[in-house]
Each structure stands twice: as structure tokens, then as C-alpha cells.
């Protein structure tokens, strides 16, 4: 009699086929939602700008001032925003400041003039200031070194996704309500994210109820926030100065795209609000691809070469150089299709920069990644103060929508030069009697 085959345990097979995401991946997903929501909160005013200007009777200079008002507290709070995350933990800090963001967004819907509009943007800047630095501190705990570029690429891709989705969504909402309703809805979405974050995230991965020993073994071992020693603020600030300057050069052009691009298409090419929003979204979609490619490529180079200079600095130089090349035709071409294509290509190349740039603070000092990235992002805040305001002033005085792009081209070149002073390959030395390696290296060392 033939041997009977052992019956297949169907339930066991199904159980084994079930895919269970890692806790670290879920944490990264929640952070991605944060980036998407808060970048949407930053740029929704750009799409509604023309309606706000007409409703409140503002000039382009006043509107530019309202744009830049976000960045005044954003730049200042950067000085200690990342430190707060390192000191008290990302869970509490992102929840508290996220609540400020939600309130600021809702109050914007009730603005009655330039003063109240600027006040709401200032409050929004306060709320969003610690976000990227504190989220970087969280990722330094939840991501291994070989996934830092990818983590930053995915999160910033979600930021650009928020920027890309916002213009058509705002236009759609404005057809049913008005520009005020869009800000109230944005605030409500921020409140929902706070609940999700505080429920799921833990500052110490080992305390998360879903964490396994196998997954925990892949993560870096860092002390809990309550166990941290005094942060070496001054020395760390000096060490991060070259990275801050590079971030400023990158962010200047980014702010031009984030705040004035819809108005550029509307007024320079006489498009209606819907068409200008679609062109703007197309440019931002190119940035999403650039974010992802930059993160994947940076980690790939690091895995192949184990050289952080090649994986971070060289990719930053490549991205800024490509953006410089593709912005040049914008100054001389008049065809809308050509200009839109060049802006897409320029934004794609620019966004190759963001993942390796934000990985640099984690490479230099994973223990104080929040503080270090906060210092770096001061450059972003200062650029946010000056870039939108100067853009509006130039337009009011000259009517030339191309001149601000010329300034961006110059700063991209400066950023390429300054990149040689960044040294992600030299870890920050914590001992008080040690000189921080690579704090301000000479040009020969920087070019090594």
C-alpha cells in the first residue's frame, strides 16, 4: 500500500505568508505623514496667494513678507529646537509643537489683514521649527546607518508629495468653499496626526510593545533622552557651520519654488489658477523622484565604497551642479513648455541634495543628531526669511520674474564650493579637551 502523503497544514502556510511590517518601517511611515502634512501647511498659502492678496488688499511685497514671516521664528527656534528633541525626546516635542501647527493653520483661516496673517505665519513657523531636526533625532534611533540616506529620501519625498498635491487640492477646496476653509481643514488634519504619533511612537525602540529582539539588534544603541549628558552646543555649532551654509544655498532656491512658483506661472505666462497649480504640481512631482533617487543612490554609494565623502558630499555637488545647469535656460527661454521642463529638471537635481544633506548630521553625531540637524537647518530658516521677501520686492520694483532665478543660480554655485568644507566622514569628538575633527578643515583636507 502506497505511503499516504502528509496533509498540508493550510493555516500554517497562510500564517507564514502573512507579511508583518517591521516597527521601524511603521515609525518611518508615521514620520513620512508628518513631512507630507507640514510641507502642505507651508505651501498652501502659495496656491491661495492671489485670492488672499485680493481679499486682504495686499501688495506683492506685503505678500512676500507674509511668506517670509514663517521663517523668522523658524530660523530662531532652530537654535534649540533640535536640542529639545535630544533632551526631552521626539515623542513629546513633536506632539507639543504639532499642536501649535494645528492651531496656527486654523487661525490663518480667520486672518483679516496683513498683521493677523503675518502673526499666524509666525506661529506656524514656531510650530514647525523643531520638526525636521527632532524627526532626524528619531530616525537616528530607529534606522541603522546604511538606511539613513533612504530614510531621509523617503521622508523628504513625502514632503514634496505634500507640496505637489497641495496646489490642486487647495484649488478644489476653494471651488467649494474659499481660501479660508482650506486652512481650517489643514489644521484638523494636523490634529489627527498628533493622536497617531503619540499613540504609536516611543523614544526608546526597546520599549515599543511591537519590537522584537531580532529587529532591535539591527538598530543603533543610544542612551535614552533622560540619560543624556550635557549637549556640547558651542562646539557642535562650530562643527556644523559649513553644513549650515550649504543648506542656506540649497534652501534659497527651494523657497523660490515653494512660495512663488504658482504666481510665476500665473503672471509671467498669464495662466489661470487651475493651470498654474497643475504646472506647479508637475515641478514638485519631479522633486519627489529626486528625493527618492538621492536617498537610494547615497546609501548605494556608501554600501559600495564605505566612503561618506562620496556618498554624501559628491552627491550634493552633483545635485547643485545639475540644478545650476537646468535653471540657466529659465533666464533666456520664453516658451512655456521648455521653461516648465527645465524647472522640472532643475527641481529634480536640487532634490538629489536633500537626502544626503540631512544624513550628514546623523553621520557626524548620531547621539546629538537632533541638535546638529537643528543647527544645519538654521540655513533653511534664514533663506526662508530673505528669499520670498526679496523675490516679492524685486517683482514689485522691476516686474521681471526671471531676476530671482538668477540669484538662485549664483547661490547654487556658492553651495558647490562650500560643500568641500563638509566632512561627514569625520565623527564629532565629544570630549571637552579634544578638538572637534573637521570643524573648519582647510581646502586641501576638504577636497580630499
Domain holding 375: CATH number? 1.20.1250.20
Higher-confidence residue of 221 and 188: namely: 188
* pLDDT given for residue 308 in this prediction: 85
Number of domains in the chain: 1
Q: Could you give the maximum distance between any two Cα atoms of the chain, in Å? A: 98
What's the distance, CA 317 to chain centroid?
A: 18
Work out the pLDDT band at 191, boundaries 50, 70, 90: very high
pLDDT one-digit tens code per residue, 406-448? 888 889 999 999 999 988 878 877 664 333 333 333 323 333 3
* In the predicted structure, residue 178 carries a pLDDT above the cut 70: yes
**What's the whole-number mean pLDDT along residues 13-38?**
75
219 domain-assigned: no
- The grid cell for 314 is 559628491
Contacts of 392 (CB under 8 A, 6+ apart): 60, 61, 62, 63, 64, 65, 67, 260
Contacts of 316 (CB under 8 A, 6+ apart): 246, 352, 353, 356, 357, 415, 419, 422
φ, ψ (nearest 5 deg) of residue 436: -65, 115
Distance between CA atoms of 277 and 169, rounded to whole angstroms?
Answer: 9
Is the pLDDT score of 99 beyond 60? yes
Q: And the C-alpha cell for 67?
A: 511668506
The answer to the question of residue 210 being in a domain is: no
> In this structure, what are the phi and psi dihedrals at residue 266, rounded to the nearest 5 degrees?
-65, -50
Say if 331 falls within a structural domain: yes
What are the distances in angstroms from CA 92 to CA 102, 128, 233, 371? 16, 14, 21, 16
- Whether residue 338 is contained in a domain is answered as yes
In the chain the first and final C-alpha atoms are separated, in Å, by 77
- Domain membership of residue 1 (yes or no) is no
Give the Cα separation of 150 and 139 in Å (integer). 11
Give the pLDDT score at 223: 62
> What residues make up the domain containing 370?
22-204+231-427+436-446
In a domain, 134, yes or no: yes
- Kind plus residue range of the DSSP H or E element containing 40: helix 23-47
Is position 110 within any domain? yes
Alpha helices, DSSP H, located in 269-305: 273-305
Whole-prediction pTM: 0.69
Mean pLDDT of 144-169: 81
Q: Taken in order 210, 214, 219, 223, is the CA torsion positive or negative?
A: positive
Domain presence at residue 226: no
Contact in structure between 241 and 423 (CB atoms under 8 Å):
no
Amino acid at each position: 500500500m502506497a505511503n499516504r502523503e502528509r496533509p498540508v497544514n493550510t493555516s500554517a502556510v497562510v500564517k507564514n505568508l502573512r507579511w508583518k511590517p517591521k516597527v521601524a518601517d511603521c515609525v518611518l511611515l508615521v514620520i513620512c505623514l508628518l513631512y507630507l502634512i507640514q510641507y502642505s501647511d507651508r505651501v498652501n498659502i502659495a496656491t491661495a496667494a492671489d485670492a488672499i492678496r485680493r481679499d486682504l488688499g495686499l501688495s506683492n511685497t506685503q505678500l512676500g513678507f507674509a511668506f517670509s514671516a514663517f521663517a523668522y521664528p523658524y530660523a530662531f527656534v532652530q537654535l534649540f529646537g533640535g536640542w529639545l528633541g535630544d533632551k526631552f525626546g521626539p515623542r513629546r516635542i513633536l506632539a507639543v509643537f504639532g499642536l501649535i501647527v494645528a492651531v496656527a493653520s486654523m487661525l490663518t483661516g480667520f486672518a483679516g489683514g496683513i498683521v493677523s496673517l503675518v502673526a499666524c505665519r509666525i506661529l506656524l513657523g514656531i510650530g514647525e521649527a523643531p520638526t525636521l531636526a527632532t524627526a532626524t533625532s528619531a530616525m537616528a534611533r530607529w534606522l541603522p546607518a546604511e538606511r539613513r540616506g533612504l530614510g531621509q529620501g523617503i521622508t523628504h519625498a513625502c514632503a514634496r508629495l505634500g507640496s505637489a498635491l497641495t496646489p490642486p487640492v487647495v484649488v478644489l477646496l476653494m471651488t467649494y468653499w474659499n481660501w479660508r476653509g482650506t486652512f481650517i481643514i489643514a489644521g484638523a488634519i494636523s490634529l489627527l496626526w498628533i493622536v497617531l504619533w503619540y499613540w504609536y511612537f516611543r523614544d526608546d525602540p526597546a520599549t515599543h510593545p511591537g519590537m522584537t529582539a531580532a529587529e532591535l539588534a539591527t538598530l543603533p544603541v543610544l542612551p535614552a533622552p533622560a540619560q543624556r549628558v550635557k549637549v556640547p552646543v558651542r562646539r557642535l555649532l562650530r562643527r556644523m557651520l559649513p553644513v549650515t551654509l550649504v543648506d542656506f544655498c540649497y534652501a534659497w532656491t527651494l523657497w523660490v519654488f515653494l512660495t512663488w512658483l504658482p504666481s510665476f506661472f500665473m503672471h509671467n505666462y498669464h495662466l489661470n489658477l487651475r493651470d498654474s497649480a497643475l504646472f506647479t504640481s508637475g515641478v514638485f512631482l519631479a522633486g519627489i523622484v529626486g528625493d527618492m533617487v538621492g536617498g537610494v543612490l547615497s546609501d548605494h554609494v556608501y554600501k559600495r565604497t564605505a566612503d561618506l565623502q562620496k556618498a554624501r558630499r559628491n552627491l550634493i555637488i552633483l545635485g547643485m551642479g545639475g540644478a545650476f545647469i537646468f535653471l540657466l535656460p529659465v533666464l533666456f527661454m520664453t516658451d512655456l513648455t521648455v521653461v516648465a521642463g527645465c524647472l522640472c529638471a532643475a527641481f529634480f537635481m536640487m532634490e538629489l541634495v536633500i537626502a544626503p544633506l540631512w544624513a550628514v548630521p546623523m553621520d557626524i553625531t548620531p547621539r546629538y543628531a537632533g541638535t546638529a540637524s537643528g543647527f544645519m537647518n538654521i540655513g533653511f530658516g534664514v533663506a526662508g526669511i530673505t528669499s520670498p521677501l526679496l523675490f516679492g520686492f524685486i517683482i514689485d520694483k522691476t516686474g521681471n520674474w526671471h531676476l530671482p532665478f538668477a540669484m538662485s543660480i549664483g547661490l547654487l554655485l556658492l553651495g558647490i564650493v562650500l560643500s568641500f568644507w563638509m566632512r561627514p566622514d569625520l565623527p564629532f569628538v565629544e570630549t571637552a579637551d579634544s578638538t572637534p575633527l573637521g570643524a573648519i578643515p582647510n581646502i586641501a583636507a576638504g577636497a580630499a
